[in-house]
Amino acid sequence: MRKILVLLAHPKYEHSHVNLQLTKAISGLDNVDIRDLYQLYPDFDIDVQAEQEVLLLSDVIVWQHPLYWYSCPPLMKQWIDLVLEFGWAYGPGGIYLKNKLVLSSITSGGTDAAYSKEGRHGHTLAEFLLPLLQTAKLCNMRYLPPFHVGGTHRIQSEELREAATQYRNTILFLRDSPEIPAELGDWKTLTTYGR
C-alpha cells in the first residue's frame, strides 16, 4: 500500500464546486493524507521543514488545484519554490524525492475539447502542464498523466458525481495497485484497472 499525499491548493476552497466534491470523495481513506495548503499557510509562510518531512514519508504526491491562467495557484508555486530545495529535492545530494510518483489533479473551466490543438486554447492540457512535469523529472520523480475534470462552469451534478468516483478510484488505484504500468492511458479508462 502506497502512502498518498494530496496537496490541495485552492484560494477560495469554500466557494469551489468541483474541488470540494473531489476532495470529499477521497477524504477519510487510509494512507491518504490531504494537506489543504491555503488553510495551513494563509500568509504564504510555508513551513519548509514540515513539508519536507511529510514528503519524505509519502510515495505518491498529488498536486490538486484548479488551473488558473494555464498554471497553478500562487501558493502552489510558492510551495514548489520553497519546498523543493536545491540539495534536497534536486541537484547534488537532492535525492529525497527519488522514484516517488506525482499526479496533477486539475480542474478547469474549459472542457477537454477546448484543451486541444483545434480547441480554444490551442494546446492540450498535458502541454500546459509541461513545467510541472519537468519539475517532477528534475527531482527524479515519475510524473503521471494528469487527472482532469474540465468544463467545471457548466458541469451537471451527475457528471460531477461521476468525476468524483473516478477520482476516488484513481487514488485507490495509485494506493493499492502492486504495479503502476509505464504506459498509462486516460484515467477514465483506468477506473477498473487492477481490481
Partner 1 sequence: MEDSFLFQAIIYLGAAIICVPIAKKLGMGSVLGYLIAGILIGPYVLEFVGEEGEDIMHFAEFGVVMMLFLIGLELEPAKLWQMRAMITRVGLSQVLITSGLLFAAMVLLGLDWKVSLAISLSLSLSSTAIVLQSLKEKNLLNSSAGKNSFAVLLMQDIAVIPILAVLPLLAVASPTGGDGHHESFISQVPGWLQTLLVIGAVGLVVLLGRYAIVPLLRLISRTRLRELFVACALLIVVGIAFLMEAVGLSPALGTFLAGVILANSEFKHELESDLEPFKGLLLGLFFIAVGASINFGLIFDQALLVISIMLGIMLVKTLVLFGIGKTNKMGLDQNLIFSISLNQVGEFSFVTYSFASQLQILDQNTTEMMMAVTALSMTLTPLLILANDKLLLPRFGTLEKTEREADALEEKNPVIIAGFSHYGSTVGRFLRANGIHATILDHDSDRVDLLRRMGFKVYYGDATRADLLESAGAHEAKILISAIDNPETNLLLVETVHKHFPHLELMVRAKHRGDAYELMEMDVPHIYREHLDSSVRMGKDVLTKLGFRAHTVHRLAQNFIKYDEAGLQELVKYKDNQQEYISMVRRNIEMQEDLLASELNRKFSLNDHAWDSDQIKEGLKNAEGKS
Q: Which residues bind partner 1 (CB under 8 A)?
A: 43, 45, 48, 81-82, 85-87, 91-93
Distance in Å, CB of 77 to partner 1, minimum: 11
- Kindly tell me which of 86 and 122 has the beta carbon lying closer to partner 1: 86
Nearer residue to partner 1 within complex by CB, 93 or 122: 93
- Quickly tell me which residue has 540539495 as its cell: 87
The residue among 86 and 137 lying less far from partner 1, judged by its C-beta, is: 86
> Strand pairing partners for 101?
60, 142
Minimum separation from the CB atom of position 69 to partner 1 (A): 21
Nearer Cβ to partner 1, position 48 or 57? 48
We find the least distance from the C-beta atom of residue 65 to partner 1, in angstroms, to be 20
- Strands 60-66 and 4-8, bridge-based pairing: parallel
The minimum distance between CB 53 and partner 1, in angstroms, equals 14
Cβ-contact 31, 176 below 8 angstroms: no
Q: Is 163 helix (H, G, I), strand (E, B) or coil?
A: helix
Name all contacts of 119-126 with Cβ < 8 Å and 24+ positions apart.
121/70, 125/67, 125/150
For the chain, state the CA radius of gyration: 16
Question: Which residue in the block uniquely carries the three cell numbers 547534488?
Answer: 92
